[in-house]
Structure formats: C-alpha cells, structure tokens
C-alpha cells in the first residue's frame, strides 16, 4: 500500500481500551495519523470533543478524512454510527438498533429467548412491588439488572432475598441508576467460571479474538461492589477448542444471524460475557456488550500479532470473509487496574502520578484511563480507573510478576490508589492455546 493510501483514524473515547486500541493501531503500515476524542493523559494527539457530541465528531472526521472507531457504549446507543453512515463516512461499530443488545437488557434477553441462545431464566418488571412479590416466591439465588446502560455497574448479584429486595429499591425507588432502572430484569444466578468472548463481526462473518477473563468486583476474592473491571488476562485456559466451537456455534453465529433476520445487521465488536458451568462445561450468556471490553482490550492487544486495522476496515466494508484468522503471540498477558481510592463511589482527582518514568521493560505497557495532563504537562489522576498496567510473558506467573512489579513503582497522593492483588492467581496454569 502506498503512503498516500494510509488512513487517518479517529478513536472515540478516553479510557484504557481506547489507549490500547490506539497503541496497537499505530503499529499498522496502513495507518497515518491517530486522533483521540477526547483521549487521556497517555494518548498523543487529543481532540477536545466529547464522545457524545456526535455532530462535532462527524464534522472532524469529514474534515480530516478519518476512519472512525468507537470505544464506549454510550455514543453507540445514541446512534453515532448511523450519523456517520448518513454522511458516508467510514466507521467501525454497530448501529443504534443493533446496539440494543447492550443498551437494553430486556431486548437482549428476549432476543436470546427467541433465538434459542443459552442464557439464565428471567422475568421483567416495571413496578417495584410486583418485583418484590416475585423475589419472595423464589427459592434460588438471583441477579437484579437495570434495563439500561449503567457504566458496567447496573448488575447486582444477590446472595439472598433481602439483598434482592435492596437491589430493587436501589434501582426502582432510589433511582441510583437513573432512568436505566425504571424497568429491571430479575434472573436466576448462574454458577461456574466467567469468561469474555469477543469477536469482530461484519453482519455475516464472525472472527473471534483471543479469549480473556476479567475481574468485576472491587476487592480480592471477588468481594465488594461491581466496577467497570479491576483486571483481566488473556488467554483463559477455560476456553479450549471444544468450548470455543460451542460458543461460536451456539452463541456468536446465532446472534449475528438472528440480528440480520431482524434487519439489525451487527457490525463491530460483539462481546459475550459468559458463565461456564463447572460440571457440564456448557456456556450461557450473562450479557452482551456491543464494544470491546475494558480492561480485556489491554491484554488482548498485547498478544495480537496481526494488523488490527485490516480487520476493522473489513468489518466496515462487510468483507471479513476475505480475511484469515487473527494470529496471536503464544504468551500470556495480564492487566492490573490501578484505581483511585474510593472508586466506584467518591474519589479525589488531579493528583500527580509518580513513577511513570521508570523503565518497566519492553514487555510492560502502561495504558492510561482516568488520567489527564495539567498545565505543567504532568500526568494527573482524572477518573476512577486510572491506569491499566499490562504485561506480556511466557506464562501466567512471569506475566503476573512483571505486572505487579510495575504496579509497585507507581503511586499518587498519600496512599490514594487501590488495586486487586489476586488478578490471574486462580489461573496460574492459564496459557493453553485455543
């Protein structure tokens, strides 16, 4: 490809996922300039446009002849892809109606039910009293979910009836999740081991990415409240060739075909959050996301050998069937999220981050998320999840040790950082190829 044919890219979003995508895409021979809107302290060319200002993003992409990649779920749910398509601008991501798989838990559950995609049994409620009556009659453990988007925090896993009643109150009466909790889904609580299965789709073809697993709870041993994700690793040995085939045949392909039949052709990253039963090894869908996972993106990008841009472009052009399978490093990657103390509730901002100038070695990447630059051009904290310390190694132990050794060199404020110390510890044998 000649230099003149290189593409400018606009990456919409400001998290660790967007930094990791930009880091990977800048290695492509097909890519010229990369802009982040609005980016963070670690991304190089930031554009001061919010991911929700769709008209301004359209105008920027048109002016700079950009191929656009959408990171977070909110602009997708708001129809950013539809606006770009209307202006005949190249963009990677699902349309507003295809994004319902994530933006409406009710739509996703009904879709799975009619498409015979394995998922937990569920009931839907728009009145708190009826929801509570239902809960009182249930014998097993339950999960209560807000119907709409809630930044990854609208799912409450309950150990007993009292916790389920409290969850209903938080969503439907106290309105802790705003309008997202006006209607709720109550479903049976599945047990087993969780895994993330993410693929690139173009409406008809599905090309899977490397398997991964993430840590949603705030504290070690999966204690505390749900977060956007406190760590992740890739690959997960849980997903062997047999299970990989089951997930493709029973979940990913039926989802793409089912959406196409409904006139909601799905293009972009399709993410199935799965629970794999310990005894039967059968996978069930906990939820769909319509974008790349964060922090799963970070270790997946570290392991990817193929040129990511070719696949994103093929998705937008509906030509994924001409692409070969993605090639991966036969190594393990681990990401430790360093968060601000107090996250996901209240936390301080604008603290200078120390230790970023250390030599962490070639196999460690510091992906920025909730960071910014102050007037003195120093990196400061600017969010709940601040950094994703990501290491690549020949096995889980070495990757883990390298990641945690880097974590210990970084700090801000007076003991104002928090991270889990058990990421990857339950998978020290992980690394079996799929």
Q: Give the residue from 10, 273, 297 showing the smallest Cα distance to 155.
A: 273
Q: Which long-range contacts (CB under 8 A, 24 or more apart) does 373-376 make?
A: 373/41, 374/350
Confidence of residue 98 (pLDDT cuts 50, 70, 90): very high
Tally the C-alpha atoms within 13 A of residue 46's C-alpha that lie toward its C-beta.
19
CATH number for the domain formed by residue range(s) 191-322: 3.30.470.20
Question: What are the backbone dihedrals phi and psi of residue 172, each rounded to the nearest 5 degrees, phi first?
Answer: -95, -25
Pick 121-188's CATH classification: 3.60.20.10, 3.30.365.10, 3.30.1490.20, 2.60.40.1180.
3.30.1490.20
CATH number for the domain formed by residue range(s) 332-427: 3.90.600.10
pLDDT in tens, 299-319: 999 999 999 999 999 999 999
| Mean pLDDT value of segment 253-265 | 98
Positions of CATH 3.30.470.20 in the chain: 191-322
Confidence of residue 61 (pLDDT cuts 50, 70, 90): very high
Positions of CATH 3.40.50.20 in the chain: 7-95
User: 7-13 and 31-38 as β-strands: parallel, antiparallel, unpaired?
Assistant: parallel
pLDDT value of residue 426: 72
User: Whole-angstrom Cα distance, residue 29 to residue 37?
Assistant: 22
CA 290 to chain CA mean position, Å: 9
Tally the C-alpha atoms within 13 A of residue 176's C-alpha that lie toward its C-beta.
15
| Mean pLDDT value of segment 377-388 | 98
Confidence of residue 2 (pLDDT cuts 50, 70, 90): very low
Positions of CATH 3.90.600.10 in the chain: 332-427
* Contact present, 336 and 389 (Cβ < 8 Å): yes
Structure tokens given for 287 = 């939820």
| Full-model pTM | 0.94
* Residue-averaged pLDDT of the chain: 94
Tally the C-alpha atoms within 13 A of residue 357's C-alpha that lie toward its C-beta.
4
Structure tokens given for 181 = 């909790």
Task: Using alpha carbons only, give the angle 317, 318, 324 rounded to the nearest 5 degrees.
Answer: 105
228: left (phi over 0), alpha (psi -120 to 50) or beta: alpha
SS3 202: strand
Positions of CATH 3.30.1490.20 in the chain: 121-188
Structure tokens given for 41 = 């302290």
Q: Give the residue from 198, 100, 190 showing the smallest Cα distance to 149.
A: 100
pLDDT value of residue 430: 41
137: CB partners within 8 A, 6+ apart: none
pLDDT in tens, 318-366: 999 999 999 999 999 999 999 999 999 999 999 999 999 999 999 999 9
* Contact present, 64 and 70 (Cβ < 8 Å): no
Q: Give the residue from 291, 307, 301, 271 showing the smallest Cα distance to 367.
A: 301
pLDDT in tens, 183-197: 999 999 999 998 999
Is CATH 3.40.50.10480 the classification given to domain 7-95?
A: no
Q: Supply the DSSP string of 67-135, one letter for each residue.
A: EEEE-SHHHHHTTHHHHHHHTT--EES--TTTTHHHH-HHHHHHHHHHHT--B--EEEESSHHHHHHHH
* Contact present, 32 and 8 (Cβ < 8 Å): yes
Q: Decide if pLDDT at 3 tops 50.
A: no
């Amino acid at each position: 490809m000649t230099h003149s044919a290189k593409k400018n890219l606009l990456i919409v979003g400001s998290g660790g996922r967007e930094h990791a995508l930009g880091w990977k895409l800048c290695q492509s021979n097909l890519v010229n300039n990369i802009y982040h809107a609005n980016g963070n302290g670690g991304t190089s060319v930031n554009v001061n446009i919010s991911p929700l200002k769709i008209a301004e993003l359209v105008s920027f992409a048109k002016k700079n002849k950009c191929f656009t990649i959408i990171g977070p779920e909110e602009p997708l749910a708001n129809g950013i892809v539809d606006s770009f398509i209307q202006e005949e601008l190249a963009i990677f991501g699902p349309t507003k109606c295809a994004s319902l798989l994530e933006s409406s838990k009710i739509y996703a559950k009904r879709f799975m039910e009619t498409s015979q995609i394995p998922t937990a049994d569920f009931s839907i409620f728009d009145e708190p009293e009826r929801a509570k009556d239902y809960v009182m009659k249930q014998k097993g453990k339950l999960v209560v979910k807000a119907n709409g988007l809630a930044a990854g925090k609208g799912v409450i896993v309950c150990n007993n009836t009292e916790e389920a009643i409290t969850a209903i109150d938080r969503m439907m009466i106290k309105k802790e999740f705003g309008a997202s909790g006006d209607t709720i889904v109550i479903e049976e609580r599945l047990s087993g081991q969780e895994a993330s299965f993410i693929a690139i789709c173009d409406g008809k073809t599905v090309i899977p990415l490397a398997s991964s697993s993430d840590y949603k709870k705030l504290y070690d041993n999966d204690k505390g409240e749900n977060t956007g994700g406190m760590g992740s690793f890739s690959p997960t040995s849980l997903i062997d060739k047999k299970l990989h085939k089951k997930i493709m045949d029973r979940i990913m392909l039926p989802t793409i075909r089912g959406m196409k039949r409904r006139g909601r052709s799905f293009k972009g990253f399709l993410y199935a959050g799965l629970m794999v039963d310990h005894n039967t090894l059968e996978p069930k869908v906990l939820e769909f996301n319509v974008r790349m996972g964060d922090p799963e993106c970070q270790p997946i990008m570290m392991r990817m050998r193929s040129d990511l841009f070719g696949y994103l472009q093929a998705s937008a052009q509906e030509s994924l069937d001409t692409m070969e399978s993605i090639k991966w490093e036969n190594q393990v990657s681990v990401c430790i999220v360093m968060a601000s103390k107090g996250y996901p509730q209240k936390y301080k901002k604008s603290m200078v981050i120390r230790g970023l100038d250390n030599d962490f070695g070639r196999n460690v990447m510091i992906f920025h998320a909730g960071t910014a630059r102050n007037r003195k051009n120093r990196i400061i904290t600017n969010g709940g999840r601040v950094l994703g310390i990501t290491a690549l190694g020949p096995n889980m132990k070495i990757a883990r040790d390298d990641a945690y050794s880097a974590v210990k060199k970084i700090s801000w404020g007076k003991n104002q950082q928090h991270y889990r110390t058990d990421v990857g510890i339950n998978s020290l044998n992980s690394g079996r190829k799929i």
